[in-house]
Amino acid sequence: MRIIPAIDIIDGKCVRLSQGDYSTSKIYNENPLEVAKEFEDHGIQYLHLVDLDGAKSKHIVNHKVLETIATSTSLKIDFGGGLKSDEDLQIAFNSGASQITGGSIAVKDPDTFYSWLKKFGSKKIILGADAKDRRVAISGWMEDSGKHLMPFIKEFQEKGVEYVICTDVSKDGMLEGPAFDLYEEIIKDNPSLKLIASGGISTFDELPKLQELGCEGAILGKAIYEGRISLKQLERFIL
């Protein structure tokens, strides 16, 4: 299972939210590159970079942060937040993203999302399927799409999606453990899916459990920043 630390960006700074609420924003580092390099120094190869300003503005904003990290580290970066147009996508890839995550766009403009999938392939385009009470949450989790999570994932997998990041919004940033039952259900329903678990991971012991369920990756944020899981532990897990 891939270990994928998250860096969430507001005003160019590394922050974390709780349950997607911007009013809970807490700055952990003024310099995201410093954080990324520390991850890299501990053997981590992947990074989940989220443009929270972009998610709010509905277009890419913090691409310079992406470019700085991509050119100064060897991390493979999955970038998301506010990608709504072909131009946004081009900027993200030109700035060094290895993959991009589209969530709101897949709900509001599925044709554009499908065209990205066709043009760039299923290895580069990740479906962001974030859930609140088993319904897909969009627009930085501020909006209920009205779509139910399971059929939503199934529909996109049938159209060629290979990778899905699923965050249970109620768990995100709460350090109360991930949504094991939800992930188990998704994997059972879609055994060939590469599911990346995100949200709520709070202790190291939860990682082997997610691996046993069949998750392809796990995104960690606050647990690292709050010292609940050390980079040394992650380094040993990777090895």
Amino acid letter, residue 191: P
The residue annotated as part of the active site, out of 8, 53, 78, 88, is 8
Active site residue 8: yes
CA distance 199 to 183: 11
Place of tokens 């139910």: 148
Q: Which of 53, 78, 88, 130 is catalytic?
A: 130
Residue 149: other Cβ atoms inside 10 A: 22
And the tokens for 211?
């691996």
Angle between helices 149-158 and 180-189 (to 10 degrees): 40
Instruction: Identify residue 139 by its one-letter amino acid code.
Output: S
Which of 150, 137, 160, 161 has the alpha carbon at shortest distance from 188? 150
Instruction: State yes or no: is 53 an active-site residue.
Output: no
Alpha-carbon span 167 to 197, nearest angstrom:
7
Q: Using an 8 Å Cβ cutoff, are 99 and 123 in contact?
A: yes
228, containing H or E segment: none
Query: Strand ranges (DSSP E) for 114-181?
Result: 125-128, 131-132, 135-138, 143-148, 163-167
- Show which residues are catalytic: 8, 130
